[in-house]
């Protein structure tokens, strides 16, 4: 067999295996895994390197307008370039519906932006914020069947949040169509109540964002969302989990056999609420929701990563510049509730976890692959095409130098944000060569891919999104009485 590319002499790592072998690639697919493959048209020597599946960054906000009308600083070109330099070969951002918008129109607009600019493959989740009859009964089911098999709902943000009744409606659609539902879980009224009292007392600084977005509010909304999903037997992924209490709620649900999944992010491992209390307005750079917590929550998040409470590790890249266009759009001394929520991290997601998780011995390399690639593929219907190194899969590879030491600076990154919250961290391990569908698109700090060369990847319903067919006991008798609920 003739290979277009052979990656030779590396150590191939998957979520379950470690192989000393070459990788033969033909027509964008992995065609052979064995030592001593014949020469390819192009060769990459991976001696002394780790050959990992390309990362799947499945929670990022790219070229997305917030509910307050602020556009993210990264478009699909800059974000995808930043992602691939960090070892990612697929991104799954959000096509966000705002009140009054058609989901179909939102998707058409988003697809046009992505198709013209992304240098790597992409899919996208939906954000559902306006559950009209048309959306529930026509648009959402049709889009799921077209390969947009995941969407997100909010329990907070005035212009995005759904009430419990509305969430049950969208969970029911997901159950019928086989979609994965993600939830941003914070108690809106707790935040609103605390915010008013803090502002009334003159507390405006960024650090009070972390007080208003209480850990108890995250825990309550997480438990409530789990109860809603349990009621109708719909799998649910709780995203960007930050607190000890929310982690415990997810772990408890899993121990009861529920299909509840968890995601966490770098900011909850490497930042704390103290970062919001920096000089002047510098704390605004660290405002995100949920906010970074305390050392006890950091420890709980690490434990959840180690013991499997969390299936995915995502950046929640929400790139807002620290200037009047974004973070400070409401003024140079904006109150904490007017600061654009979100921090960047798409390029550093995998290096941070590799250095501080794998190199430190907190997790092994197989768990790293699960958290950064394989589980995202399984959760979101990208498997078996993406997320692993296997015969017939897309040839998406990240070749890592596990011993490369460096100090983080924003000048070495590729996003358009202007700062990184992880500046001056000393890390070890970086992907030096990245292959996307058989194309070497990053090698030795140089990009070899044009905007628009990435492809849209339609997705199948995830195997993990299937209900267990175990409705709550108090609902089951409805069937005996001839009541059709679903």
Give the whole-angstrom CA distance, residue 155 versus residue 203: 25
Q: What's the confidence (pLDDT) of residue 229?
A: 97
Domain membership flag for residue 438: no
Q: In CATH, what number is assigned to the domain containing residue 109?
A: 3.20.20.140
Q: Is 337 helix (H, G, I), strand (E, B) or coil?
A: helix
Give the whole-angstrom CA distance, residue 140 versus residue 144: 6
Domain membership flag for residue 76: yes
Q: What's the confidence (pLDDT) of residue 477?
A: 62
- Residue 483 pLDDT > 70, yes or no? no
- Residue 480 pLDDT > 60, yes or no? no
Handedness of CA 116, 312, 239, 298 (dihedral sign): negative
Question: Residues 373-411, buried b or exposed e (16+ Cβ, 10 A)?
Answer: bbbbbbbbbbbebbbbbbeebbbbbbbbbbeeeeebebe
Domain membership flag for residue 360: yes
Domain extent, residue 312, equals 55-381
Domain membership flag for residue 317: yes
Domain membership flag for residue 106: yes
Q: Is 32 helix (H, G, I), strand (E, B) or coil?
A: strand
Instruction: Copy the structure tokens of residue 461.
Output: 């319903």
Give the whole-angstrom CA distance, residue 370 versus residue 353: 12
Domain membership flag for residue 100: yes
**259 and 341 Cβ atoms separated by less than 8 Å:** no
**163 and 156 Cβ atoms separated by less than 8 Å:** no
Give the whole-angstrom CA distance, residue 162 versus residue 181: 13
- Residue 84 pLDDT > 70, yes or no? yes
- Residue 143 pLDDT > 80, yes or no? yes
Predicted model pTM: 0.96
Q: What is the mean pLDDT of residues 208-226?
A: 98
Q: What's the confidence (pLDDT) of residue 320?
A: 96
Q: What is the pLDDT of residues 278-323, one digit of tens each?
A: 999 999 999 999 999 999 999 999 999 999 999 999 999 999 999 9
Domain membership flag for residue 436: no
Q: What is the pLDDT of residues 365-424, one digit of tens each?
A: 999 999 999 999 999 999 999 999 999 999 999 999 999 999 999 999 999 999 999 999
Give the whole-angstrom CA distance, residue 167 versus residue 165: 5
Give the whole-angstrom CA distance, residue 333 versus residue 205: 8
Smallest CA-to-CA distance from 396 within 68, 71, 91 is with 91
Give the whole-angstrom CA distance, residue 430 versus residue 442: 12
Q: What is the mean pLDDT of residues 132-151?
A: 96
Q: What is the dihedral of CA 268, 274, 277, 282, to 10 degrees?
A: -50
Domain membership flag for residue 179: yes
Instruction: Copy the structure tokens of residue 452.
Output: 């628009």
Give the whole-angstrom CA distance, residue 180 versus residue 365: 27
Structural domain tally of the chain?
A: 1
């Amino acid at each position: 067999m003739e290979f277009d590319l052979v990656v030779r002499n590396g150590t191939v790592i998957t979520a379950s295996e470690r192989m000393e072998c070459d990788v033969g690639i033909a027509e964008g697919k992995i065609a052979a895994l064995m030592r001593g493959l014949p020469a390819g048209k192009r060769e990459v020597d991976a001696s002394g390197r780790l050959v990992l599946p390309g990362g799947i960054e499945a929670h990022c906000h790219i070229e997305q307008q917030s509910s307050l009308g602020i556009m993210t600083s990264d478009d699909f070109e800059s974000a995808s370039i930043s992602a691939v330099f960090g070892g990612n070969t697929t991104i799954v951002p959000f096509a966000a519906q705002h009140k009054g918008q058609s989901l179909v129109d939102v998707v058409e607009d988003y697809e046009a932006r992505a198709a013209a600019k992304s240098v790597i493959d992409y899919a996208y989740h939906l954000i559902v914020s306006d559950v009209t009859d048309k959306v529930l009964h026509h648009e959402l089911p049709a889009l799921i069947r077209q390969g947009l098999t995941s969407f997100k709902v909010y329990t907070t943000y005035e212009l995005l949040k759904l009430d419990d009744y509305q969430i049950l409606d969208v969970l029911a659609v997901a159950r019928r169509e086989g979609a994965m539902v993600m939830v941003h879980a914070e108690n809106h009224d707790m935040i609103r109540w605390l915010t008013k009292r803090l502002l009334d007392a003159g507390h405006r600084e960024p650090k009070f964002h972390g007080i208003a977005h209480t850990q108890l509010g995250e825990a309550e909304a997480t438990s409530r969302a789990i109860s809603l999903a349990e009621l109708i037997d719909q799998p649910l992924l709780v995203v960007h989990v930050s607190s000890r209490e929310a982690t415990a709620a997810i772990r408890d649900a899993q121990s009861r056999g529920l299909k509840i999944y968890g995601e966490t992010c770098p900011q909850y491992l490497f930042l704390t609420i103290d970062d919001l209390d920096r000089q002047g307005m510098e704390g605004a750079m660290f405002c995100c929701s949920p906010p970074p917590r305390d050392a006890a929550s950091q420890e709980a998040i690490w434990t959840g990563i180690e013991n499997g409470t969390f299936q995915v590790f995502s950046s929640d890249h929400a790139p807002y510049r620290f200037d009047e266009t974004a973070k400070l759009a409401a003024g140079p001394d904006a109150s904490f509730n007017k600061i654009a929520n979100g921090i960047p991290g798409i390029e550093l997601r995998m290096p941070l976890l590799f250095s501080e998780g794998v190199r430190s011995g907190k997790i092994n390399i197989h768990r790293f692959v699960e958290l950064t690639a394989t589980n995202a593929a399984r959760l979101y219907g990208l498997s078996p095409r993406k997320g692993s190194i296997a015969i017939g899969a897309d040839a998406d590879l990240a070749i890592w130098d596990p011993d490369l030491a460096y100090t983080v600076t924003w000048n070495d990154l590729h996003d358009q944000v202007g700062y990184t919250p992880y500046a001056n961290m000393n890390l070890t391990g970086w992907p030096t060569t990245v292959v996307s569908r058989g194309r070497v698109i990053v090698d030795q700090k140089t990009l070899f891919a044009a905007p628009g060369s990435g492809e849209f990847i339609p997705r199948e319903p995830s195997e993990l999104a299937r209900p267990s067919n175990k409705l709550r006991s108090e609902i089951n008798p409805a069937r005996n009485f001839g009541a059709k609920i679903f």
